[in-house]
Amino acid sequence: MREIVLDTETTGLDPFSGDRIVEIGAIELFNHMPTGAIYHQYINPERSMPEEAFAVHGLGDEFLADKPVFAMIADAFLEFVGDARLVIHNASFDMKFINAELGWLDRQHLPMSQAIDTLEIARKRFPGAQNSLDALCRRFAVDNAAREKHGALLDSELLAEVYLELIGGRQPDFMLAGSHRETAGQNGQAPEIWRPTPRPAPLPSRLTPTEAENHRKFIEKLGDAALWPKFRLH
């Protein structure tokens, strides 16, 4: 099963009031494991950056001036996405912007049914709790120390780990290939593989003394031919 964990950064909250996408970051998962394939693109919004949005992601007019406009990257983006499920935190927001950009190019929209909303999943699992990406990182002990500002690719990396926790837990050796954060296995060294270790002390028996005595009396009635006497009770 192919999934794309995706995030965008924008100039504001409403594409139909003139706001545009300025960054897309996406990570490919196959059967819930990262393949190492990513899509990352900064985009010239063809408008000035509001101060409020700049404070969130730090992407300014000068930095974005020489980046391609959405029309130039649309084909590559759609090719990367394909028909994969899109894993997005607050999917209605990102899908609204992506489909607005596609609509302005007379391109077919991506259906909302293609999206998995991790915010919706989190609200069902933790009703009444904070379910922002940062809050979920804290809940699941996902290291988000590098997240000083919002960034589409970094947020996709974090969301991939959060998503796997939301649906049942990360693999012990889960690592995002090419992560912007520190990962094991850099400098040509093989990553350390997690292995379970024996318990420091065995778990105590759940059998009560009365139950043990009743069992002893029962197997005595079975006679010497029974298998039970060959096993010692712990």
User: Which residues have a catalytic role annotated?
Assistant: 150
E strands, 81-210, are 85-88, 115-117
Three-state SS at 25: strand
Place of tokens 């985009």: 43
Neighbours of 74 (CB within 10 A): 17
Distances (CA, A) of 100 to 48, 106, 123: 18, 10, 26
SS (H, E, C) 158-193: HHHHHHHHHCCCCCCCCCCCCCCCCCCCCCCCCCCC
CA 222 to chain centre: 57
How far is the C-alpha of 60 from the C-alpha of 63, rounded, in Å? 5
Paired tokens of 190:
């093989």
Which residues does 93 contact at the CB level (< 8 Å), separation at least 6?
Answer: 13
